[in-house]
Amino acid sequence: TDEIMQQEIRPLVAVDIIEQLHRQFAILSGGRGKDGAPIITFPEFAGFSDIPDEDFLNVVTYLTSIPSLEAASIGFIIIIDRRRDKWSAVKASLTRIAGAFPGNLQLVFVLRPSRFIQRTIADIGIKLYRDDFKMKVPIIMLNSVSDLHGYIDKSQLTRELGGTLEYGHSQWIHHRTAIENFAMTVKTTAQMLQTFGTDLAETELPNDVQCTEELLSAHTDHHSKLKDELKLAVKQGATLLTCIREPVTRSANSKLSPDELENVATVERLLAQLDETEKAFDQFWTKHHLKLEQCLQLRHFEHDFREVKLALDNLMEAQAGFADIGDSVTRVEHLLREQKQLEEKGQEPLEKAQSLALHGEQLIQNNHYAVDSIRPKCVELRRICDDFTNETKKKYDILGKSLELHKQLDKASQWCEAGIYLLASQAVDKCQSQEGAETALVEIEKFLVTAKEHQLSNPKEFYNQFDMILTPEIQANAQRILQKLEDVQEMFDKRQVSLKKLAAKQTRPVQPVAPHPESSPKRASPKITRPA
C-alpha cells in the first residue's frame, strides 16, 4: 500500500487534454529507433501554427511522459511530416519544437515539402537558419519516406510513413484513458484500504457485548464492501489487459509495439500491486477481525462471569447464614434438610461456574490477548466452587456431630427417665419380702445392663468427641444430663444396697414344741404372726 501511495503522480493524464489529443497534431505511435529511442511523429496538420502554446506544450509533455524512464533516457526521435506544406511551416515547426520540447532529443527527421521550389527553399533555409533553431541534435532533411526507411525500420513506422506498424489514434486514446483510469482506481482503492486500516488501528475496543457486536458487524460490512471494490478493480485490470493484447490473440502474426508492451507491463504491475495490497489488507484484517472476535468473547465471558459470580456470592451468603447447629434432634434434622436443599440449589450455579472457568481456560489456550484478565477470573470461580464444596462438607460434618450428640443426650435422658420410672414402680411393700427384694434386684440389674447402650461416655471422652460443637447452651445441657445420670446411678446404687440387705435377712425357723401335758387338745393353739 505504501509503495502505491508513494508513486510519482504524473501532472497530466489523457482525460485532462482529451480534446487536444484528438486533434492529432502529435502522436506517439509506439515505434522505436534502432537503439530503442521512442518516436514522436508530427503528422501533416494544416493549422499547426495556430495551436495555442499551452495546448502544444501539454500534448508534447504528456507524450514524453508515457515511455519508460529507460526508453526516455535514450532520447526521443522526432519525425516532422511536412511533405505537403511550405518551408515556412517547416521553420515554424522546428522553432516551436526547439523552444518547447520537454524531453531529451536524439534526432529530428524532417520530410520536407515535395514540390521542387519549396524543397529548394527548404534546403537553403535549413543551412541558413540551423543555428536559429537552437537544437543540439542533428536535423536530417529527407526527400521521401524511402529515405526515412534508411534510418528507421519500416516495422516501426505507421502506414502514413510507408511502414507496417498498426496504429489507430482513437484506440490509442482509449487505451491511455483506460490505463490511467485503472491506475487511479488502484490508487483510490489503496487509499481506501489505508484509511480503513488506520481507522481500524485507532478503534478503541468497546466495554460491553452489544457495542462490540455492533462494531464487529460494522467493520465486517465495510470490509466486505472494500473486498467487492478490490474484485471490481482486479476485473477492470484483467479486462484492460485483454483489450491491449487483443491484436496478438486475434492474429498469431501480430506483434505488440514496444509502447503496447509497456502498457501491458504497466497494467500487470498495477495488478501485482493490487494483489500485494489485497494480501497486506487481508493479513491486517485477519488480525483485526480476530481481535474483535476475541474482544466479543471476552465481553461475553465478563458478562457471564458477573452473573455467575453474583449467583455464587448469594449462595455463599446463604450458606454463611447456616450458623445454627441445632439444640435438639428435631432441629438438627430440619437443618440437615435445609442444607441439602441449599446444596441442590447450588448445583446449577456451580456447574455454570465450572463450565465458565473451563471456557476461560480454552480462551487462554487459544492465545487470547486478554490472558491477564481471564486467568484471575477462572481462578476465582474455581476457588469459590471449592469453598462452597468444602464449606458444605464441613456443615454436614458439624450437623452430623450435632445430631449424634443430641441423640446421645436424648438416649441418656430417656434412660434416666426410664430408670426413675423403674425405681418409682417398685412397690415398697412388695420389696419387704425376700422374694420381692430379689425380684426388684433382678429388674434393676437387667436395667443397668442397658446403661452402656443408652448412657453417655465418661465426661472426658464426651468433651473430646464433641468439643468442636460444644456451645455454652449445649455444654450446659450436657452437664445437666451428666449430673442427672450420676444422680440416677446413685439412686440405683442405694436401692441395690437396700434390696440386698432385705434379701439377705433370713426368717427365723419355727422349732417344734411339745404340747404341755395340762394342755387340752381342744384348746386352740395361738397364732404365730410372720414378721413383715
Question: CB–CB of 341/318 below 8 Å?
Answer: no
State the SS3 of 314-356.
Answer: HHHHHHHCCCCCCCCHHHHHHHHHHHHHHHHHHHHHHHHHHHH
Residue 216, all three cell numbers: 464487529
**What are the backbone dihedrals phi and psi of residue 251, each rounded to the nearest 5 degrees, phi first?**
-135, 125
Return all residues near 178 (Cβ < 8 A) that are at least 6 apart.
Answer: 240, 243
Ranking 11-25, 145-159, 504-518 by mean pLDDT, the lowest is 504-518
**pLDDT classification of 135: cutoffs 50, 70, 90:** low
Tens digits of residue pLDDT in 243-282: 988 888 877 777 888 888 889 999 999 999 999 999 999 9
Res 115: pLDDT = 54
Split at pLDDT 50, 70, 90, the class of 230 is very high
Q: Is the pLDDT of residue 306 over 80?
A: yes
pLDDT, one tens digit per residue, over 421-447 is 988 888 777 777 888 888 888 988 888
With contact defined as beta carbons under 8 Å apart, do 139 and 108 qualify?
yes
Q: How confident is the model at residue 133 (pLDDT cuts 50, 70, 90)?
A: very low
**What value does the mean pLDDT of the chain take?**
84
Q: How confident is the model at residue 119 (pLDDT cuts 50, 70, 90)?
A: very low
Average pLDDT over residues 27-34: 92
**In this model, does residue 480 exceed pLDDT 80?**
yes
Count the residues in the chain.
532
| 3-state secondary structure (DSSP) of residue 109 | strand
Predicted confidence at residue 362, as pLDDT, reads 95
Question: Could you write out the DSSP letters of every residue in 265-289?
Answer: HHHHHHHHHHHHHHHHHHHHHHHHH
Mean pLDDT for 27-40 is: 92
- What's the whole-number mean pLDDT along residues 5-33? 82
- For residue 518, what pLDDT is reported? 44
pLDDT band at 217 (very low <50, low <70, confident <90, very high): very high
Over 90: is that where the pLDDT of 305 sits?
Answer: yes
Q: How far apart are CA 518 and CA 513, in angstroms?
A: 14
pTM value is 0.69
The C-alpha cell of 245 is what?
A: 493484447
pLDDT class for 515, splitting at 50, 70, 90?
very low
Q: Maximum Cα–Cα distance for the chain, whole Å?
A: 223
Cβ partners under 8 Å of residue 20, min gap 6: 55, 58, 59
CB atoms within 10 A of CB 264: 17
